[in-house]
Structures are given as structure tokens and as C-alpha cells.
Amino acid sequence: MKPEKYRMSFTTGGLFRQESLRIAELYANTNDWNEVYKTVLENNVLQARTTSTTKRNYREISIRLQTLTKNELDLLIDGTAQEQGYLLWLAVCRRYKFIREFAVEVIRERFLTLRYDLNNEDFDAFFNKKAEWHEEVDKITALSRQKMRQVLFKILREADLLTSGKTINAVILTPRFIRTISQTTPEDLLIYPTMESELKGVV
């Protein structure tokens, strides 16, 4: 049986923190993604230079946000800046299984074994391992792989999971954050570099 195909279309943008918050607030007021889309286009909510960029960025942001539950979206709107970054990272990981597995298999594993550096070679080794089993990964050009690595590391920095010097940041999750995520998918807490003791009894 063939493994599930990865979505690999994360070569533009980044975490989209401010843009995601604007869209999440619009959705909270309407509960209608079609209405949100109209408002975004009519008022240039994303402050993009062209309509095509607005449409492209909105599609990416809205698809990510739609992976979050109502309680998670509420926390995204009302949470601290740190909680917001962690929730947007969660949305990225739910959208892209490839990134989720990188978070668990590489970032978290390195953190738990006290190897706090994260380098290009770590991404490349993970990429090559997945390429052995996934044709869609194996077909990606070297240039596209480099772009994916750049965007992923940018997202990690913007979510405050990685320093500019490529050192993994330890994550301390608030009780309400853990409670909100564990209501539906407690295993998603494994995407964060945090100590096992913090997740004891949850995952």
C-alpha cells in the first residue's frame, strides 16, 4: 500500500502572523468563510500589492486556519503573542504532514536528546529519508528543496521555535493551551520542543 502523499506547496510566505489574526477575527464575526473572502478582497485586508497576491495569500492562510477548532481559533484571537505563534505553527503542521513529521521526528527528537542546534543538513537528511518512500518528494528539484527549507526555517523563527542562530527554543506551554489542544488531538502537542514531564498524562 502506497503511503499518503505529502502536500509540498509551502514555498511562499511564512507564518503570516498578523494576516492570520485579521482573518481569524473576521471569521469570528461572521462564521462564514465566503464573507471573509469578500471582505478581504474589497478592503485589501492583507495589504498586498496585487489582487493575485491577496488571493494566493488568503487561500493559504484560510486553509491553515480551517484546521483549527473553534476553541483554538478563540485562543488564537485572545491569547498571548506566544500562544498565537504556537497555534499558527499547529495550523501549519496540520496542513502539511511533511512539516508535522519534521517537527516530531527531527526538532523534538533533537531537543529531547539535548542537541539544540538545527542546521540545513538536518532538513536535507530528513528530506532524503522521505524521498525514498514518497515519489512526490523525490521529484522535487534541488532549487525547490532549498526554497522549502528557507520557508520552513522562517516559519520556525516567526513562531519563536528557532533563534536566528538556528538554536531550538524550549517551549513552555500554558495550562490553557495544553487544555485547548488536548480536547481534540493531544498528540499534536508533540510538535513542540518541550519536556516530556510537561506533557505527562496528556499525550
Query: How many C-beta neighbours within 10 Å does residue 32 have?
Result: 12
Distances (CA, A) of 63 to 23, 58, 96: 11, 8, 11
Q: Which residue has the higher pLDDT, 44 or 195?
A: 44
The mean pLDDT value of the chain amounts to 95
Q: Report the C-alpha gap between 147 and 153 in whole angstroms.
A: 10
Q: Which of 159, 162, 87 is nearest to 122 (CA)?
A: 162
Cβ-Cβ contacts under 8 Å for 188 (sequence gap 6 or more): 90, 93, 94, 181
Q: pLDDT by residue (tens digit) across 122-161?
A: 999 999 999 999 999 999 999 999 999 999 999 999 999 9
Would you list the domain boundaries of the chain?
Answer: 97-199
pLDDT level of residue 57 (50, 70, 90 thresholds): very high
For the cut 90, the answer to whether the pLDDT of residue 13 exceeds it is no
**109 pLDDT more than 90:** yes
CA distances, 15 to each of 11, 92, 96, 132, 152 (Å): 12, 8, 13, 28, 9
Global model pTM greater than 0.85? yes
pLDDT at site 1: 62
How many residues comprise the chain?
Answer: 203
Q: Would you say residue 91 has pLDDT above 80?
A: yes
